[in-house]
Amino acid sequence: MLDIQLLRKDLPQVRARLATRKGGEDILDVAAFERLEAQRKTIQSKTETLQAQRNSLSKDIGQLKAKGESADSAMQQVAQIKIELDSSAAQLEGIQNEMQQLLAGIPNLPHESVPVGKDESDNPEVLRWSPQSGLGGNAQALAFVAKDHVALGENLGLDFEAAARMSGSRFAVMKGPLARLQRALAQFMLDTQTQQNGYTECYVPSIVTAQALFGTGQLPKFEADLFAAKKGGHQGDEEQLPLYLIPTSEVPLTNLVADQILAESDLPMRLTAHTSCYRSEAGSAGRDTRGLIRQHQFDKVEMVQITHPDRSYEALEQMCEHAQDILRKLGLPYRMVLLCTGDMGFGAAKTYDLEVWLPGQNCYREISSISNCEAFQARRLQVRFKNAQGKNEWVHTLNGSGLAVGRTLVAVMENYQNADGSITVPPVLRPYMGGISVLTPVDSK
C-alpha cells in the first residue's frame, strides 16, 4: 500500500508515476481521493472545534459547581456535543474505510531506475548466459531437430489425459523417473538456497485467509486468479473465514512477520519454501495451453527476504544471483531482463525476470521473477522494525522464484534431450536420482 502522506504532499507526481504503469491514468481516481480528503479535513476540523467547546464547558461546569450554582445548561450542551462527536467519529470511520479501499487497489510506484514502457516488448535485456560461452553467450542449437517437452514426455511418464479425467484441463500427472526428476530439482534448489545462500527452510500452509492475501497484494484486486477453498465443518464450529489456496509461497512466508515489530538485528531475514502453488490463470485463455508452462497447479521453490530499507536493492541483486546460480549449476542457457513500468506486478517497485532457453519452443521463457516491493507489503501487513534511534520504521520485502520447479523440469528435458528421445540427467542432480544419468522411455514403464 502506498504511503498516504505521499499522496497528500505530492499527488500530481504520484499520479504521473502511476500513469506509466499498465492502466495508465485510470489507476488513481484523483477525484475520489480529493473528495475523501476534503471530507476528512472538514470532519476533523469540526471535531477539533467540538472538543475545544467541550473542554471549555467542562471547565465552566467545575467552576459553577464550586460556586454552588446550577450547571444544568452547560451539562446539556456537553451531552449534545458528545452526540455530535460520536456522529463525527462514525462519519470519519466511514471515510477512512473508503479511503483504505481506494488505496488497496492502487499498485506500487515504480522505482526511478525502472524503464518506462507499455508491455514485455519494452523490457531491456540485462545479460545472457550459456554453458558453452558464459556471460554474453547464446544458446547453441542441438545437433538434431529439437522436440518440446510434451512430445518428449509422452514416453517418459508425463500424462495430461489422466490428469484431465480427474481434475480438468491444465493439470498433469508424472510417473516414474520423471516424477523423481521433478522431486530432485526441488531438493537441489532447497539445498542450494539453505546450505549455500543462507535461507531458512520453512514448511508453510497451502491454504491461507483473505487477510494474508491482502497483505501481500493478491486481494482484493486479483481474486479471479485465486482458487477459493471451501471449509468443511458443522453448524456451531468456529467462524467460517474466506480461505484460498496459495498462488505462491511468498504469501505464507511474508505473512510470518505480519503485525510484528522486529529488532534491527533480526534483519535481513531470508526464508525459503517448496510448495505447490495454485492459480486459476484468469484471462489467459488460449495462452500456453500446451504442456507444463501454464498449469493450475505447479511447484515452486520461493525466496523471500525481509530487509532494512537501506539495503533492499542490494538484496534484490543478491537474490538475482541466487536464482541465476541454480540455472548455471544446471547448465541451462538463460537471459535476464528488467521489467518496464507497463509489465510490472502490482506490488513491485522493481522486478527482474530470468528467462530460460527452451530449444523445443525456440524461445526464452520466464522461469523466475524477482521483485523488491519496498514498504508496499509492509504497510499492508503492518511489519516494522525498531531502528537505531528507537523509532519504528517499515521493513522492505522482496520475493522471487528460486526456481519454478515445473518450468525448470521443462528446461532440463528440452536442453538435455537426446536424438533417441532420452533425457540426460544434469550432473548436479544425479546424487538426488540415485546415480541415474539418463532417463529412457523404458524407465517409465
Q: Residues of 144-166 as b/e, b for ≥16 C-beta within 10 angstroms?
A: eebbbbbbbbebbbbbbeebeee
Q: What are phi and psi of 379, to 5 degrees?
A: -65, -40
Closest by Cα among 431, 398, 436, 402 to 416: 436
Rounded distance between C-alpha atoms, residue 356 and residue 409, angstroms? 11
* Cell numbers standing for residue 163: 490428469
131 upstream amide cis, omega within 30 of 0: no
Task: Using DSSP bridges, classify how beta strands 158-159 and 392-394 pair: parallel, antiparallel or unpaired.
Answer: unpaired
Residue 368 known to bind ligand: yes
Q: How many residues belong to the chain?
A: 445
426 upstream amide cis, omega within 30 of 0: no
* Cell numbers standing for residue 422: 532420452
439 upstream amide cis, omega within 30 of 0: no
Where do runs of H (alpha helix) occur along 125-175? 149-153, 160-167
Residue 276 known to bind ligand: no
Residue 280 known to bind ligand: yes
* Cell numbers standing for residue 415: 536442453
Per DSSP, the three-state class of 131 is: coil
Residue 279 known to bind ligand: yes
**How crowded is the C-beta side of 369, counted as CA atoms within 13 Å?**
15
Q: Is 406 exposed, middle or buried (0-12, 13-18, 19+ CB in 10 A)?
A: buried
Sign of the Cα pseudo-torsion (18, 19, 22, 27, in order): positive
Residue 367 known to bind ligand: yes
Per DSSP, the three-state class of 203 is: coil
Write the CB contacts of 324 (distance below 8 Å, at least 6 apart in sequence). Answer: 129, 334, 336, 354
Residue 302 known to bind ligand: yes
Rounded distance between C-alpha atoms, residue 186 and residue 174, angstroms? 15
Rounded distance between C-alpha atoms, residue 155 and residue 266, angstroms? 50
Rounded distance between C-alpha atoms, residue 219 and residue 215, angstroms? 8
Closest by Cα among 217, 202, 209, 212 to 104: 217
| Binding residue ranges | 248, 279-281, 302, 366-369, 399
| Binding residue ranges for ATP | 279-281, 366-369
| Binding residue ranges for L-serine | 248, 279, 302, 399
